[in-house]
Chain A
Amino acid sequence: MTAEARHRRAGGSRIPILLLVPAGLALGFLAVPLAGLLARTPWGSLGAELATPRVLEALRLSLVCSLGAVGVSLLLGVPLAFLLARVEFPGRNLVRALTTLSMVLPPVVGGVALLLAFGRRGLVGRWLDQWFGITLPFTTAGAILAEAFVAMPFLVISTEAGLRAMDRRYEDAAATLGAGRWTILRRVTLPLIAPSLGAGIALCWARALGEFGATITFAGNLPGVTQTMPLAVYLALETDLQAAIALSLVLLVVSLAVLVALRGRWFPTA
């Protein structure tokens, strides 16, 4: 490799100032708020802040709800991804658009929509109430539903992308060797799309963990039942800033952990 080529490969030593200034500002803009959070963190009393029953309750509930939302998304979202990736049907693009709608919808709007659909007087909820005596708002199940509504698209999109990218000849080969559908799915397809599925699960879980708007609108706010971490942060902010910062830090660490776990998968290392 010539010196010149190496120079070019390394990106050049002279970075245009026109690029550097706005890029630096962008980086600062994204990083400074996090620095602000860290600067105000009560490190000395952090353990005590996090060990209060209220915080532990919110943590426990956040884990239950976000894992529940991932479960619902796996159960329903993965089959949907298969449908979108493998089956040609009229209106497929429309279905795909509908699938992703809740990603771009403001979560509070999602919460109102959920109330109008699954609330006690909602389109579906009224029958759930009359026939089975099930009401979802103000319950942990409702919080799981709200989180799944917002987070499922991340899993569907990621899984569908994995299915489209995989080489289907492996499945064909397995079929010619006499493997049944179930065996092919279990032994060939799922292992091949495992990276996409894993990334989808991680993103879906992180999104569910951070869910606020749909949850507080649809499921309300009750410690131990529907008050997840983001809701606890929001309410703590109004009375106890230290507790709010401590809770925020936990969510920040979790988010960072997800990003680190996904590095190279979602963001190819240059």
Chain B
Amino acid sequence: MAFNTNVFINCPFDNQYKRLLHPIIFTILYSKLEPKISKLEDSGSIRIKQILKLIKESKYSIHDLSRMKSIKSGELARFNMPFELGLDLGTREIGTGLLKKKKCLILDIERYRYQAALSDISGSDIASYGKRNQIEKIIETIRDWFTTVLHPIQPSSSKLYLEYTEFISDLQIELEQLSFNKDDIKKLTNSEYIHYAKKWISNRRNNSI
């Protein structure tokens, strides 16, 4: 059933965050789960309805609150992520049946920063990925969470990281051979990325059997 394999991802969707979103998606797919991202859905419907639909359809969710604090002076903080986290936690609390089984992982750059801004989420699964080696750390954090909510036996985080680096080099090499320029590569949509990652992982698995 799709509910049991869907993972709702609540994170920034700008180019700067893609460097973290891509390893998140890869780790989810490698664990035989299905990433669900609001931007993949039909842009014609009202955004909050899309988000609530994805939340209701997903047993698992990953929320990155790192943009709660603005990066530059004078820039406003982003409240979409804490808002969507609230919707997700509310759905679990108020919902019935399968919705009671929902699990979520909350990510931030700093370990206890949420306590100052969003102390009501104390007691949830909260993890930090720090400011250095973020790609390895974010893969490790999600992988470790899967060992508790999914199955205790998961590929090691170092294997996942190495597989991820091989996939993105294969993707980049093949894109360049098809005359995709750097701009085309940057503009690759999340649904394209998911499609290619799925194909690569599935064939990697078939080849290693």
Chains A and B form a bound pair: no
User: Taking beta carbons and an 8 Å cutoff, which residues of A are in contact with B?
Assistant: none
